[in-house]
Structure formats: structure tokens, C-alpha cells
Amino acid sequence: MDGSRIEEPVVEQPAPTPDELVPEWAKLDLPPPGSEEEDRRFAELHAKLPALWRNLMADGHVEQTVVVVPSLSLDPEELQKLKGARHYEERLLFLLILLSLPKTRVIFITSEPIHPHIIDYYLQLLPGIPFSHARRRLKLFATYDASPHKSLTAKILERPSLLRRIRKALGRSRNTQLTVFNVTALEKRLSVALGIPLLGPDPRHLHYGSKSGARKLFREAGVALPDGFEDLENEEEILDAILELRARHPELSRVVIKINEGFSGEGNALFSLDCLKGIQDATEAREILARALPEKARYQAAGMNWEGFSRKFREMEGVVECFLEGDQKASPSVQMRITPLQEAQIISTHDQVLGGPDGQVFIGCSFPALPSYRPKLHEAGRRIGDKLAKAGVIGRLSIDFLTIPRGEDWDLYAIEINLRKGGTTHPFRTLQFLTGGRYNPETGLFQSGSANPKYYFASDNLESTKYRGLLPEDLIDIVTYTGLHYNTSTNTGVVFHMIGALSEYGKLGVTCVGDSPEHAKQLYEMAVETLENALGKTDWISS
């Protein structure tokens, strides 16, 4: 050997094969996104829902598989306003109620793995089913991706191997469905990718869930709504709408500006018309308004400014409405289910608890809504639900209202349609989970096996910096040690959700079930007090 360097022969890399040039979706035998072929396959799957529904309604013990994808497929910027947003996926754990049916399998998919103690917490609450039997029929998958900029559904679609694993887990069950938090084109694509029908609206109906689309449907249904304008595109049209509303209603003191796809009220801005007092000239009024609007609009989302709000408004469009004033006004809602057989069913009513700078942001709810306006909620809900059913909409939805007392009666105004599961879905389904009861649309009450109707107070925003650092097992130890847990013998007590957000964000959700509205609220106050008293102590730690 002379120590000279031996040149390695240059090996020319082979050109990519046609298969290697094929995008991942095509390797899964998927059509291109948004293509006619994707539409055709989705329509074929959707057409299976009526027969599937009849099978499930006819026999509660029929074999079925439910794939749960609790993706919040919403605008990423809007979603970032929600503290601990990725843990909101846990809200759909109420669907583990389905495991009380002995031949039902549930496949639950999340962005990150759910702590085993959280799964155990829910399964132990299942009435009449051994824990081991239920756990055997539950399959958990995770994307191991905590990115806040992509929805869970997008993460799943980016992982062909995960899609194949889910497909394999489906087995041969004929009665298989996909259930999600909300539907977009991504959920439609996931339905096609898995080859199972999506129990939810076709994305072509999603305009009914926008602020503008809802207002138009309310008019068609003959339901009262605040005076206003929809399908507005920019600041100039916002100014036009405000000036026209002021001309129609000289006594008007405030307007609310809403982004079409705003979430939980945080896409709203309130504007006072005080700057226009005494101004009669239209040109002068417009000039004053154009200067004042960017400076004096009040945003419900923390940290928002006019630049960000107006940019998002131009992207999504929106509405301007008269702000309905009233010292005693309430914010009830009615929840509906439109079955694949096009039946619009009322399934609950709630009084919403609103917070934020001007009472526009959803904080929690109490069930059911007050009896003084509950019948009007039912009537308006049926009108709107029938219109949506006739249009071909399927799935769960919620309709928000404002009520203002007028003497001994209440005026009811429809505000928006949430064409998805919402903040009132999981507490109500939790009540069903725990009791096996159902809502009576004739009385507006929930009847379980016990003699007393059941009531609850629920919130997603039980929050304190003091809670940070508490682990899921800490919470479970605390509620066990203090006796705060749900009592299956009385069907009353406290159930927590979003437990995964506790350690990092100091935040969790709670549903407090009582024998009266007052009892439910007392349980909530007791839950807050119990958590506060447990902090700084260690006697609740189990050995």
C-alpha cells in the first residue's frame, strides 16, 4: 500500500420510480383533495347513514365501531385565543358512554396521548359495565404532534401509516361511523380516507354556521333577530352598515361587529356610538366614525387591535348588528340533532354564562334554560331545525339567542348557529353518560332513573394559577379523599373534564349535577372551595 487515496467509484443514483413520485394521498388510493372523485366517494359514504341510523335505533346491542376525532378544525388564529386549546380534544371523552353498549367499539384519536389516569377516570364512571370489558373495546391512537398551527384532522391525514393503522383497527364491522367536533373539508377527506361515513353535515352546508348564513336562515324561518347587515367584506361596508342602523334606530347606543367564523364570542367587537351624538350631517358622521372605529372598538379577545381584527374581517367577512340593551337580558341556547332521516330533534336547552369585557365570551352554562322562556326556545328551535333538515343538514347543532324581558313576557332574538358540537354538548352528554336518562321536549326537563329531574352547572374555565403543577393523579386523589366525586347512587356530584390542561395551564372543566339548579350551583362552589383548600396540603396523596 502506498498510502495514496483510492477513489471510490461514482454510483449514479437511479431515477425515482413512478411510484416514488406519487403523492402520499395517492398511495392510499385517495383522490386529489377537492376533486370530483372525492365528492363522489364522500356522497356514497354519506348515503349509507340512513340505513346505519335505522340499524342503531332498532337494536341498541347491534355491533358498531365509532371513530372519534375531536379535532378543533377552526381558524388557527382564532384557536390561539383559547388557552390550552389542544386539551379541548378531551371534551369528547364523554363519547366513551358508547362503551356502555356491550357490542360497541370506540377508536379515539388525539394529537398527544391522553394520560391513562384520565381514561380510567371516565371508564370507572360507566354504569353497569365492568371496567375491563369497556377498556378492551377502546382503542387509542395519537399523532404525537402538539403543533398548535394544525388541526388534529390535518395531522392524521399527514400520517399514512397512522391512517393504515386506524383502517386496520376498524375490523369488519358493518356499522361504522366517524364522529368529529366540527366538519370542514379536512373531515370530509378523512371520511374518504378511512372509507367510513361521517355523522355530520356535508361541508357544502357550512355557510349556515357562519354569522351571515345564520342571519339569512333566521329570516327564512320567521324567527326574530337583531337588525343588522350580513355578508360585509371590509371596513367601508362596516361604516355603511353602522350609519344605516343609526338612521333606522336613532336611540341606538351600541353596535356589535362579528367575524363570520369567530369562535366562543372572541371574534366580536363592540362599538359605542357616543362619538356621533348630535351629529346630523352624513358626511361629517362618516368621517368621525372612520376615525373613531379603529381607536374605540372594544374587542372580546385579549390582545386584539383594529389592525388584526379588520384583517381577519376582510379574510372571513362578517356582520354588523344592533347591540340589544337590557339590564336583565339572558343568553339561552337550544341544542338540536338532525338525524340522517332528516328528523330535527330538540335535545336540550341551556342558559349560557358569558364573560369577557362586554359579556360576549362563552364561559359556561346551566341546564336547563329558565322555564319562563323555555317554550319559546323550543318553538324557535323547531322552526330553524326544520329549515336546516329540509336543506339536508345532518348532525348536532346549537342555536344561541338573547332574551329581553317585556313586562311579564320575554322577547327572543336568534343570534347565531353553531353547526358543530359546542360548549353545551359535552356537559349534557356527560349527564346522559352518568344517568342513562333523556331530555323530555314536552316538559323541558331531564328525567333519569331517579324520581327527581336532573340539573347541572358546567364550565370549561375553572382556572387558577394556583392549580398549575397539579397532575391528573393529584386531582383524582383530591376528589377521592374529599368525597367530591360523582355519586352513582344519588346521580349527583361533580365530574371533571379537560384534566390534561391542569398542570400546564392551571385550567380544567367541570360539570356539577344536582337535584335543582341551586343544588348544582352549590356543588360548583363546593368544587372550587375544595380545590382551593387542598392546595398546599399533601394528606390527600394516596400511597
Domain locations in the chain as residue ranges:
24-199, 227-322, 332-534
How far apart are alpha carbons 526 and 520 in whole angstroms?
A: 10
Q: Rounded distance, CA 80 to CA 303, Å?
A: 11
Query: Residue 285 contacts by C-beta under 8 Å, 6 or more apart in sequence?
Result: 243, 246, 276, 279
Contact 256, 303 (CB under 8 A): no
Measured CA distances, 438 to 57, 328, 334, 369 (Å):
15, 30, 15, 16
Q: Are strands 332-338 and 344-355 parallel, antiparallel or unpaired?
A: antiparallel
Rg (CA), the chain: 26
Mean pLDDT, contiguous 10-residue spans, the chain (543 residues): 44 47 58 94 96 88 94 81 83 92 96 95 89 96 92 95 95 91 96 97 96 98 98 97 97 96 80 94 95 92 88 95 90 96 96 76 89 96 98 96 92 96 89 88 86 90 91 92 87 93 93 95 94 84 74
* Locus of grid cell 393523579: 473
pLDDT of the residue at 264: 66
| Beta-bridge partners for 70 | none
d(CA 68, CA 66): 6
Would you say 480 and 542 are in contact if contact means Cβ atoms under 8 Å apart? yes
Write down the residue that cell numbers 375491563 correspond to.
Answer: 132
* 312-340 core/surface letters (b: 16 or more CB in 10 A; e: else): bbeebbbbbbbbbeeeeebbbbbbbebbb
State whether the Cα torsion 112-118-120-123 is positive or negative: negative
Residue 52 and residue 36: Cα distance in Å, rounded? 25
Closest CA to 205 of 233, 228, 182: 182
User: CA 386, CA 392: separation in Å to the nearest integer?
Assistant: 10
Query: What backbone torsions phi and psi does residue 254 show, to the nearest 5 degrees?
Result: -145, 155
| Residue count of the chain | 543
Q: What is the CATH number of domain 332-534?
A: 3.30.470.20
- pLDDT at position 14 is 52
Backbone angles phi, psi at 541, to 5 degrees: -70, 125
Residue 270 has a pLDDT of: 94
pLDDT at 24: 52
In this prediction the pTM is 0.89
